[in-house]
Amino acid sequence: MKERRGTQRREASLSRENIIQTAIALLDSGGEDGLTFRALSERLATGPGAIYGHIANKSDLLTAACDALVARTMNKIPITTPEETIRAVALGLFDLIDVHPWIGSTLTSSPGALPVVRILERIGHQIRTLSVPEEQQWDAVGTLMAFILGVSRQNAANRQLARARNLDRDDFLDAVATAWSQLDAREHPFARSVAGRIRNHDDRVDFLAGIDLILAGIGSLKRPSRPRIKPSPR
């Protein structure tokens, strides 16, 4: 009887927020495969039925966990100039996916879900503020989002692979740079020319450089402001 009352108290204190935070911890430690309702039930010391009262299924839980972190990141972004805000959004997501690699696959596999809409709205508002013609706004936003999510996800995957293979980043980059510098100069002139930069490049700096290139292209789409017409002298 006491055990039953204890179970009832745990279920009564269970909240959607508590479930989501516990799911995030499981995802961080074991990836998507580590998130099961059984593992969640054990961590929360409750039954699966209590969890299903708050979360419909694993897909719903993944989206909710992703949205909690994306919303937190978006809320920290300062609103300054459109270009600086876009850079801050991009870098915030880059760092978020680096810490929580499972977010990258969750965002790209659920393009219509709320966390993606949050990002879309934040970037889209800045694109409108930049006076990009309406017929080209979707192209501008889509290009930015594809770059941000694609590069961030690949960066996180690279780090996971390096950890799994026990690779030291500096040693790996040095080996790549050395190999490129020894390529045939006639067949691979560009690879040889950038070999030195491979050794000391910063992933975050390179990422922001890509954002700046896209923003430069978007800048060329801006609708020119109409010149002010001076009144003719009477």
126 and 45 both lie in a single domain: no
Determine the pLDDT at residue 232. 59
The answer to whether residue 228 sits within a structural domain is no
Determine the pLDDT at residue 213. 97
pLDDT tens digits along 15-28: 999 999 999 999 99
77 and 188 both lie in a single domain: yes
The answer to whether residue 37 sits within a structural domain is yes
pLDDT tens digits along 55-86: 989 999 999 999 999 999 999 998 899 999 99
Domain hosting residue 168, numbered range:
65-219
The pTM of the full predicted model, rounded to 2 decimals, is 0.84
Percent of the chain scored above 90 by pLDDT? 69
159 compared with 151, residue with greater pLDDT: 151
CATH number at residue 147: 1.10.357.10
Mean model confidence pLDDT for the chain: 88
The answer to whether residue 230 sits within a structural domain is no
pLDDT tens digits along 78-121: 889 999 999 999 999 999 999 999 999 999 888 889 999 999 99
For residue 153, is pLDDT > 70? yes
The DSSP code sequence of the chain is -HHHHHHHHHHHH--HHHHHHHHHHHHHHHTGGG--HHHHHHHHTS-HHHHHTT--SHHHHHHHHHHHHHHHHHHT----SHHHHHHHHHHHHHHHHHH-THHHHHHHH-TTSHHHHHHHHHHHHHHHHTT--HHHHHHHHHHHHHHHHHHHHHHHHHHHHHHHTT--HHHHHHHHHHHHHTS-TTT-HHHHHHHHHHHH--HHHHHHHHHHHHHHHHHTTSPPPPPPPPPPP-
Total domain count for the chain? 2
